[in-house]
């Protein structure tokens, strides 16, 4: 099977390369926004939606026009990729999988993509990469790139530029090293509780840095916008955000690597993290209930990165020949693992489970994990429907997207 993996490195650009990277990212954003505006205008006039090919034809005209002569300074393939990206966003919207595409704002996710592998050359020995219209750019070589180069993305995080190099390589279809199965209950008090009784302590990465972040944000708010000091303060805030994200990623990588190595089948609740972390504030006519408590919970959920946890588990298990099974979360915390009696009274407190029917007692999170495991076994064995519509099995070639290493 084919394994796709991304390797991410910090770039060490020259002054000219730095200016060009900013310009290329800006011009790709400009092309994306111009195409989006064109689609909207067409729609307003009752005209047909433009296909990617038609947009690419428009791009050629824009590159040759005298109106914005700087457009043609950036790599054409990167701008075409921005149009492809917009096209995909529209497809997702038409398939009701995503919201209507939005204009890209300056300063948010500055990046551009090199889709053509023939135009990129990687010189690992000298820690440099040849990128179209940028020339040889040096990078911090933290680890070797494995596999055949496919494409590259240049992006800005806080005040640093990175290159993410995507590769593909053939690997033997792995056989799982372990035969055991485990159920996982995720929570606020404990990040994850395993059905074998072990657990991962909560990750309070955001909490730990929150005071620092608040101070930095306060300082930023007192500066004159766009002044030199404002820029400095803004960089400080961004750096704290990056630091938090890195700490969270490290924690999740360690946890998911251990779990996917030790178990052949991992069962988790199919929680809709997107829904859970959405604001509960409601609207003007119907204000939400328990807004504060939920916003705290929402924050904690995001902080813990459950969605990322699941994503990593899924691809790492596939790499190891294992399987992730997502089961319906209904009643996993109120079903007795001994006698199957379902009652919300079974759960006495956040941590205590005591069955009102047979008297079985255990830690509530372990009970949850055991129920998830039992349900996972039923899903895997006799195909008990998974309510979410998520497939329990994934084709490893397409779905695997490795993580970047900074």
Residues annotated as part of the active site? 185, 269, 365
Site stretch for Zn ion (CB under 5 A), options 124-132, 142-150, 198-206, 340-348: 340-348
- Name the minimum Å distance from CB 140 to Zn ion: 57
Report yes or no: 266 and 182 within 8 Å, Cβ to Cβ: yes
Least CB distance from residue 360 to Zn ion, whole Å? Answer: 4
Under the binding rule (CB under 5 A), the answer on residue 347 touching Zn ion is no
Residue 369 beta carbon to Zn ion: minimum distance, rounded to whole angstroms = 16
Q: Which of 98, 189, 339, 399 binds Zn ion (CB under 5 A)?
A: 339
d(CA 375, CA 58): 53
Q: How many residues line the site for Zn ion (CB under 5 A)? A: 8
Q: Answer yes or no whether residue 342 interacts with Zn ion by CB under 5 A.
A: no
Helix (H/G/I), strand (E/B), else coil: 379: helix
Binding part of the chain for Zn ion, among 127-135, 248-256, 269-277, 339-347 by CB under 5 A, reads: 339-347
Closest CA to 373 of 266, 279, 273: 266
C-alpha to C-alpha distance for 119 and 113, rounded to whole angstroms? 12
Q: Which of 338, 380, 386, 405 binds Zn ion (CB under 5 A)?
A: 338
Contact by Cβ (8 Å): 323, 392: yes
The DSSP element (H or E) to which 244 belongs, if any, is helix 228-262
Count the helices and strands in the chain (H runs, E runs): 10, 14
Site string for Zn ion, 351-370 (x = CB under 5 A): ----x-xx-x----------
Considering beta carbons, is residue 351 or 356 the nearer one to Zn ion?
A: 356
Our CB check for Zn ion shows the closer of 190 and 341 to be: 341
Give DSSP secondary structure letters for 19-30.
Answer: HHHHHHHHHHHH
Spatial contact of 308 and 320, defined as CB atoms under 8 Å apart: no
Backbone angles phi, psi at 13, to 5 degrees: -80, 160
Which region, judged by CB under 5 A, interacts with Zn ion, from 4-12, 109-117, 259-267, 347-355? Answer: 347-355
Footprint on residues 117-156 left by Zn ion (CB under 5 A): none
Note whether 331 binds Zn ion by CB under 5 A: no
| Residue 291, both tokens | 């807004």
Query: For binding to Zn ion (CB under 5 A), which residues are involved?
Result: 336, 338-339, 341, 355, 357-358, 360
């Amino acid at each position: 099977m084919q394994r796709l993996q991304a390797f991410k490195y910090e770039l060490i650009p020259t002054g000219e390369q730095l200016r060009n990277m900013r310009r290329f990212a800006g011009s790709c954003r400009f092309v994306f926004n111009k195409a989006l505006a064109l689609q909207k205008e067409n729609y307003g006039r009752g005209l047909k939606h433009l296909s990617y090919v038609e947009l690419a034809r428009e791009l050629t005209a824009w590159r040759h026009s005298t109106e914005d002569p700087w457009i043609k300074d950036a790599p054409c393939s990167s701008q075409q990729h921005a149009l492809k990206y917009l096209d995909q966003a529209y497809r997702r919207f038409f398939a009701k999988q995503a919201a209507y595409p939005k204009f890209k704002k300056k300063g948010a996710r500055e990046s551009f993509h090199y889709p053509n592998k023939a135009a990129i050359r990687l010189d690992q020995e000298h820690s440099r990469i040849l990128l179209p219209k940028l020339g040889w750019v040096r990078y911090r070589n933290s680890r070797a790139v494995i596999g055949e180069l496919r494409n590259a993305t240049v992006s800005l995080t806080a005040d640093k530029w990175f290159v993410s190099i995507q590769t593909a390589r053939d690997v033997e279809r792995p056989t799982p090293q372990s035969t055991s199965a485990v159920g996982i209950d995720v929570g606020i008090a404990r990040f994850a509780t395993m059905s074998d009784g072990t657990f991962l302590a909560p990750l309070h990465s955001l909490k730990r840095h929150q005071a620092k972040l608040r101070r930095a944000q306060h300082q930023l708010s007192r500066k004159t916008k766009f002044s030199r000091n404002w820029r400095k303060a803004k960089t400080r805030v961004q750096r704290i955000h990056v630091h938090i994200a890195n700490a969270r990623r490290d924690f999740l990588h360690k946890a998911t690597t251990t779990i996917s190595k030790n178990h052949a089948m991992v069962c988790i609740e199919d929680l809709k993290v997107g829904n859970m972390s959405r604001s509960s504030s409601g609207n003007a006519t119907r204000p939400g209930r328990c807004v504060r408590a939920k916003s705290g919970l929402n924050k904690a959920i995001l902080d813990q990165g459950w969605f990322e946890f699941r994503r990593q588990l899924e691809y790492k298990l596939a790499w190891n020949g294992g399987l992730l099974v997502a089961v319906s979360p209904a009643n996993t915390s109120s079903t007795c693992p001994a006698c199957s009696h379902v009652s919300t009274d079974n759960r006495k407190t956040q941590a205590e489970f005591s069955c009102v029917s047979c008297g079985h007692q255990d830690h509530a999170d372990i009970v949850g994990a055991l129920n998830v495991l039992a349900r996972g076994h039923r899903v895997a064995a006799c195909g008990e429907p998974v309510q979410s519509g998520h497939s329990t099995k994934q084709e490893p070639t397409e779905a695997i997207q490795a993580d970047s290493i900074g």
